[in-house]
Amino acid sequence: MPYPLLVFDWDGTLIDSAGAIVACIQSACRDLGLPVPDEARAGHVIGLGLNDALSYAIPGLAAAEYGRVVERYRWHFLARDPEIPMFPGARAMLAGLRDRGHILAIATGKSRAGLTRALDNTGLQPLFAASRCADQCASKPAPDMLYELMKELGTDAANTLMIGDTVHDLQMAASAGVQAVAVSHGAHPGATWSRSRRLRAWRISMS
């Protein structure tokens, strides 16, 4: 067990939500008469905190407009949320890792309320020892989530592995000195993160 602590991203890594997030961002923009980002631009922001996500997805959007966009996004997302499935094999994989003695944690761009709702919907709360969300500390790609999780759970970078699906996850891990696994599904295609020379990660497929 070379990595006692396994830290998972949520959206696009454990749950197949990337398509829903992109569609909800686009729908919110249409509702408000704003420029609608294409799939690639909307998908790139998955995992980021709110301000960074909106500034990238909708270039030039005034900060005063963020609240309106978020309100419409949440309206669309809440209608879809209960039906968003986990990736096949994810539930069994998590239970197996926990049973083998690993400590499991989550580092996500979701809000605390959003993660709580997602864990309730999936019934996975008992598997995770701790979590950090984008409204609790600096969001990805800053290393703060990993630093706080390692401190809370009493471990260090050498004993921690980050598992995610986006460049933001891998940059966070690199900044924290933590090894990373990049899954081959999710929000960012493999070519996106493999072009970033700062990132050192293994690529896996979930089966």
Cβ-contact 18, 24 below 8 angstroms: no
Q: Is 144 a catalytic residue?
A: no
| Integer angstrom CA distances of residue 119 from 24, 85, 122, 186 | 20, 12, 5, 18
pLDDT, one tens digit per residue, over 151-164 is 999 999 999 999 99
- The whole-number pLDDT of residue 146 equals 98
Over residues 180-205, the pLDDT tens digits come to 998 877 655 554 444 443 434 443 43
CB 53 within 8 A of CB 45: yes
Q: Which residue of the set 11, 52, 165, 169 is catalytic? A: 11
Q: pTM of the full predicted structure?
A: 0.81
Please give the full DSSP string across 82-112, using - where no structure is assigned: GGPPBPTTHHHHHHHHHHTT-EEEEE-SS-H
Per-residue pLDDT of 71-81, as tens digits, reads 998 899 889 88
In one letter, which amino acid is 145?
M
Is 9 annotated in the active site?
yes
**Distance in angstroms (rounded) separating the CA atoms of residues 27 and 29:** 5
pLDDT digit string (tens) for the chain, length 207 residues = 689 999 999 988 999 988 888 899 999 999 999 999 988 888 887 777 777 788 888 888 888 888 899 899 889 988 988 888 999 999 999 999 999 999 999 999 888 998 999 999 899 999 999 999 988 998 888 999 999 999 999 999 999 999 998 888 999 999 999 999 988 776 555 544 444 434 344 434 333
Spatial distance between the Cα atoms of 6 and 17, rounded to a whole number of angstroms: 21
Helix (H, G, I), strand (E, B) or coil at 178: coil
pLDDT reported for residue 188: 55
